[in-house]
Amino acid sequence: MSPKLPVTAEKLSALNLLLHGFATTNAEVHLLLLTSEDGFEVAAHPATDARTARIAAMSSSIQALSDSLMREVGLARSNSLIVEADAGAIVVIGLHVAKPRMSLSIFTSKQQLLGKLLWAVRSLAASIEAELLR
Amino acid sequence: MESVSIAIQISLHACMFFRHAEFERSGSWNRNNTARILPDVINSLHFIATGADLATTASPVRLPMGSTMKLSKEPVGKLERRITLVKSDSSRAAHNSMLFFDSVLWVFKGMSDSEWSLASADDADVVVAHHETDPQQLQQWRSAGKFVVIISTDPAFSDVDAAADKFLLQVPFKSAEALQLLARIDSLLSAGKKGTQPGESSGSEARNSPVNSLTVLEVLRMLRHSAAATHWMLGNINEQQIWVRGDGRQYRCPAHLVEAIRRGAGCSALVSAGLKTPPAGLESRPGFELVWFLAYHTTTLITELSPTASYRLQRWPDFGLVRTSDDVSTVTQMRIVAALDVMPATLAELSFRASALPAETICTLNALWASDCIEPMRVVTNAPAAKKVSVPRSVGGGFKDFLRGIRKHLGIGVTS
Amino acid sequence: MSAGEIKIVFAGPMGAGKTTAICSVSDVPPVSTEVANTDQAAFAKELTTVALDFGQLLMSDGTVVHLYGTPGQQRFSFMWEIAARGALGVVLLLDGSSATVEEDLRTYLRVFCNVAQSQPLVIGVGRLEPGEQDRLIDFHAVVRELSVNVPIFNIDVRHRKDTLLLIESLLLILEASNPGVQHDVA
């Protein structure tokens, strides 16, 4: 995690709780990652995944490219990015309200219904932003 | 009588060669093995004799085993070089190595371009010492302008002042290696006019004369291999002093002189500044720049370079530093270097491959040589190979057009 | 000219001047993916590139050359390979004032000599103090450790001509390596 990230231990604990709660109610989700804008992992579930540092960097890259693309075509801000794969999907949502800016990445299996996931993820994102603003 | 005299000479030479051959094999004297090595010795005699620069009166002599040998009379008109061999009793190997070097001088007397004679250390041009000699003493000799040859009996020995092989003989070494080294030093000494020692003032001569520039260049090359960063040398450009650091990596001069140097102002011989240091207020510049431009503006091929030898690139020069406002000239130099990077080449081959005029190639080759960016192909070295590159498929068959287009678009290079 | 992307990659550690170099030659305002740098302790820069900088050279015959600047920080190293794949050449920029410049050189050289094996690579070292230009000798020693021979130039990417010098050297290496191409001379 970035040493300079202004997230207190208490907030971090609350964020992890939110991620854990989401994973519990959405069994097809196998990784949730909250990353700083510049690619550091803030919180993750499960916390012990060895790949999270690298995935955090990749998520921020893809988020940044997505933002650039939206600016280039004049579609204002990127809200979410969905990558569908043979074995599942990734949803990356930018969290723009709180500072510092972050993004939330969710990795799910193929069985998860995308529409339902998007609704749930947006709800989670709102909860996370509320927690960050608190 | 002549045949007897010749026979005696042959015998004496043969005795020395027995010892040479044995030393070259094992690093030690062992007379018991001389019979075994006799054919090699005779062949060595033949090789050396037929390769020597012989005077016109020579007598072919038929030796046992069908070998032939020519002996020459003492040649006349040679330059005298003074050499001292510093005795070393630190080990039997050190002692023997000095004896061997001594015998090389003796045996090949008269067969080199100059005449080498033993002298005291104070008077000598060249000092030959064992690697265990006091480093301060070695440095004193170097600072006095003497060439110091180190003979090492330790494979792990590394002397930065010996300049990555420049004047280092690793035991066991062949007599040919010692002779090549002496020949190299001889040519460096010869680069001075009328036997002038490097560093002596020659103010009566034209400052921009090729000989002066060459002398200065040789000194600058030597400095690059010394570690005397606390000492300074003094030179003169356009009536003004320049200071060159003892390791050759920096020079200092008035700011306006830098452009003069880059445009081709020559430098008179460098002399030691003794204990003096540069005054404040001078521009501090990298030594590479001085060497590059002094050599580049030497329009004839430097004596150490040969028009028929192949050279390979050791490293690219810093074009960020030596690029001039004349883009054409810079690009030509870069083109020459790029061509050399791909494959070693002779002067003519390089000129052709780089589409450069011979004059441009000569100047660039001079600069590359002086700044240690190239080496002759015959030298065994660890110079890394150039990266093999290919044109990406996306550029395809229109590569030449693409190059022209991008250069034109960016306003770089030379476009038709 | 056949289809396919033509690109030149600018790589190097954070703060070496990749974005500046691209800006100095690009015909269009470069697309940037710079975001706030949260690790000020490690890198005293406000912003950091997290994906790619992207510029273009728009040539009169319609050929477009893409200029990519890779993120400098190690955690984005996956982007280096993606960007370098099939590139015309790689320009490696280094910050000569950095305490880790020699280590950076080793790191980047190892990676790019591996991912861009057959593409020319040139190195530009910026931010050397006056009088420090001879440090290039030390950098050449590092390069030799890795058994390669690449150009290393003292440059300042704030000056367009310095970036052009690096690009020109890439082109000259390509040209020299392709004997079928005759040089254009005045």
* Contact yes or no for A61 and C32 at CB 8 A: no
User: What residues pair up with B116 in beta bridges, in sequence order?
Assistant: B81
CA distance C123 to chain B (A): 10
From chain B, pick out residues whose CB is under 8 angstroms from the CB of C176.
Answer: 335, 338-339, 341-342, 353-354
Rounded mean pLDDT of B397-403?
A: 83
Instruction: Flag whether pLDDT at C83 surpasses 50.
Output: yes
Q: Label residue B383 by pLDDT band (50, 70, 90).
A: low
Instruction: Flag whether pLDDT at B75 surpasses 60.
Output: no
**B224-251 per-position pLDDT tens digit:** 777 677 888 889 998 889 999 988 889 9
- Are chains A and B in touch, 3+ Cβ pairs below 8 Å? no
In B115-154, which residue ranges form alpha helices assigned H by DSSP? 135-143
- Alpha carbon distance B240, B250 (integer Å): 17
Instruction: Flag whether pLDDT at C99 surpasses 50.
Output: yes
- Chains with 3+ CB–CB pairs under 8 A to B are C
Rg for chain C (alpha carbons), in Å?
16
Contact B109, B116 (CB under 8 A): yes
- Specify the pLDDT at position B194: 29
Q: Label residue B266 by pLDDT band (50, 70, 90).
A: confident
- Specify the pLDDT at position B214: 52
- Alpha carbon distance B7, B2 (integer Å): 8
Residue B58, SS3 per DSSP: strand
Nearest by CB: A37 against C35, C40, C73: C35
* Contact yes or no for C51 and A2 at CB 8 A: no
ipTM of the complex: 0.92
- Chains with 3+ CB–CB pairs under 8 A to C are A, B
* Contact yes or no for C50 and A2 at CB 8 A: no
Burial of B273 (0-12, 13-18, 19+ CB in 10 A): middle
Instruction: Flag whether pLDDT at B13 surpasses 60.
Output: no
Region of poorest pLDDT, from B3-7, B179-183, C50-54, C181-185: B3-7
Region of poorest pLDDT, from B87-101, B122-136, B328-342, B354-368: B87-101
**B270-293 per-position pLDDT tens digit:** 888 888 899 999 999 999 999 999
* Contact yes or no for C75 and A65 at CB 8 A: no
Instruction: Flag whether pLDDT at C20 surpasses 70.
Output: yes
Contact C24, C158 (CB under 8 A): yes
Nearest by CB: C6 against B320, B392, B408: B392
- Alpha carbon distance B310, B381 (integer Å): 14
On average, the pLDDT of chain C sits at 88
Contact B368, B383 (CB under 8 A): no
On average, the pLDDT of chain B sits at 74
CA distance C71 to chain B (A): 23
* Contact yes or no for C36 and A37 at CB 8 A: yes
State the pTM of this model: 0.67
Nearest by CB: C153 against B318, B382, B385: B318
User: Phi and psi for C59 in degrees, rounded to 5?
Assistant: -85, 160
* CA nearest to A59, candidates C127, B331, C35, B372: C35
Question: Is the dihedral angle over the CA atoms C149, C153, C157, C159 positive or is it negative?
Answer: negative
- Specify the pLDDT at position C182: 52
**A27-66 per-position pLDDT tens digit:** 899 999 999 988 888 999 988 777 888 888 999 999 988 8
Looking at this protein, which amino acid is placed at residue C85? Answer: R
- Specify the pLDDT at position B157: 72
- Specify the pLDDT at position C27: 93
**C110-152 per-position pLDDT tens digit:** 988 888 888 899 999 999 987 788 889 899 999 998 888 899 9
- Specify the pLDDT at position A99: 74
- Specify the pLDDT at position B51: 33
Instruction: Flag whether pLDDT at B164 surpasses 60.
Output: no
**A64-106 per-position pLDDT tens digit:** 888 888 888 888 777 889 999 888 999 999 998 877 789 999 9
Q: Label residue C10 by pLDDT band (50, 70, 90).
A: very high
Contact with chain A for residue C39, Cβ under 8 A? yes
Residue B323, SS3 per DSSP: coil
* Contact yes or no for C51 and A39 at CB 8 A: no
Nearest by CB: A38 against C31, C32, C38: C38
Token pair of B282, please?
């001078």
